[in-house]
Structure 1
Amino acid sequence: MDLFIAYITSHHTPTAGILVVTDIFGFEAPVLRKLVDMLTSYGCYVVVPDFFNKDPYNHQALDSVEAAKGVLKCILDKGLLCVGAVGFCWGSKTIIVAEIDQTTPPTLAEKFSYVLKSKPEVESFVHIYPKVAHGWTCRYTHESPEEVANAAQAHNKMIGFGKYLH
């Protein structure tokens, strides 16, 4: 199994685990860590691996699929009842997608949603967020009330994801 450094945070008595896949700015981004810390309020053990090994420019999303499976297994080996995954940018194909995005355009997100909905045994949530561009949830202009409000709404949806894991 591949080894990664990771940011790990946890509720004091976690019952569910969450794998967070970062954007290109990696697992040390302050806004990301703040969001990840909030996920613990739902009784979660959260792992944010550095799948990039401190080199975000020489990786493709599929490069870490097997590694992600290993991280998920490690989370489940902790005896937690269930595990989920969320992501940003590079890992955004799992929950909230920007309407204005060439990396994961809405048509691709809709395909992911269709596949997820075809598996009723897997609870899922896909939302295409209107009028926002790629990376808006972690990289927005703090002085723009509209951008702050859009990011806050997306953050609340992501944090609320934790409730589906119980």
Structure 2
Amino acid sequence: MSGPECCNNPPVPDHDPAAPSESGNVLQMASLTCYISGDPDSKIAVILVSDVYGYGAPKLRKLADKVAHAGYYVVVPDLFHGDPFIRKNQLQDWIKYHAPKQAVEFAKPVIKALRGKGISKIGAAGFCWGAKVVVELAKDAYIQAASLLHPTFVNLDDIKGVKVPVAVLGAEYDKISPPELIKQFEATLQAKPEVDHFVKVYLGVAHGWTIRYKDEDMAAVKCAEEAHEDLVDWFDRCLQTTRSAL
């Protein structure tokens, strides 16, 4: 399921998406353009899979830098091949050409490339649209830890199929993945003791808040920062055996 909430508070570009930042660089990996941040010698990586607005969104890159600062090699791939959603278009028409399951096949070579450069463990976080990509990777254990933030298109069968530790971060005011659905996800995971999980509903915020919050809304900013910390803590918890060797 997708809807208008998936497009609220669109990012305002403040740079050329292909240009490097103070913290990261735009490079090619497995034929995809990627924003990459962090120590290239790190043995653990985190892939951030964007919402419909793509890998160039400033707040997503800011979060990538934050995760990188925690010790991870962070990759934000352009799974839309230079064609992110634009508000003047119809979302459902755009989705026809950018189905999450198709993007899973674009993400797999990135994972293979990371393995080829010596990465021993990989976590992935998906935002809205990107959560479906990540949950599909988690069902086949292509990654070692997953996080789904205000997920879109993710259903109970997806959660039942997850084979790696998974975190689900939801919003109180979310018509796409309402708290009731998030609680169903939690109950499903509680019935899978072999899969570690973390589930949390953040109060006072709406779908997309972790990377599309309004800077002037201090409560939303604070809640987004809380979610960011929880995201890093989750990857620390799941991948810490590798981090301790760094």
Q: TM-score scaled by structure 2?
A: 0.58
The reply on whether 1:60 has 2:99 as its aligned counterpart is: yes
Q: CA deviation at 1:12?
A: 5.0
Q: Secondary structure at the match of 2:109?
A: helix
The reply on whether 1:48 has 2:51 as its aligned counterpart is: no
| Partner residue, 2:143 | none
Instruction: Assess, with a 3 A threshold, how the Cα gap between structure 1 residues 105 and 123 changes in structure 2: closer, same or farther.
Output: same
Which protein is bigger by CA-based radius of gyration?
A: 2
2:59 aligns with one of 31, 52, 61 = 31
The reply on whether 1:100 has 2:139 as its aligned counterpart is: no
The reply on whether 1:85 has 2:158 as its aligned counterpart is: no
- The question of whether the paired residues in 2 share the 8 Å contact of 1:39 and 1:162 is answered with no
Q: CA deviation at 1:140?
A: 1.6
RMSD: 2.4
The worse-fitting range, judged by mean Cα deviation, of 102-111 and 124-133 is 102-111
CA distance in 1, matches of 2:184, 2:219: 29
Gaps spanning 5+ residues in structure 2: where?
1-29, 86-93, 133-147, 149-167, 241-246
Instruction: Assess, with a 3 A threshold, how the Cα gap between structure 1 residues 3 and 102 changes in structure 2: closer, same or farther.
Output: farther
Q: One-letter code of the match for 1:104? A: S
CA distance in 2, matches of 1:132, 1:163: 25
- The question of whether the paired residues in 2 share the 8 Å contact of 1:42 and 1:162 is answered with no
| Partner residue, 1:71 | 110
- The question of whether the paired residues in 2 share the 8 Å contact of 1:20 and 1:48 is answered with yes
Q: TM-score scaled by structure 1?
A: 0.82
Identity of aligned residues (%): 40
Q: One-letter code of the match for 1:103? A: I
2:213 aligns with one of 113, 131, 140 = 140
| Partner residue, 1:155 | 228
Q: Secondary structure at the match of 2:32?
A: coil
Gaps spanning 5+ residues in structure 1: where?
none
Instruction: Show CA shifts across 1:71-111 (max 9, x none).
Output: 22222222222111112121246242223223333344445
- Structure with bigger RCO (C-alpha 8 Å, 6+ apart): 1
Q: CA deviation at 1:129?
A: 2.0
CA distance in 2, matches of 1:56, 1:111: 31
Q: Secondary structure at the match of 2:176?
A: coil
Q: CA deviation at 1:133?
A: 0.7
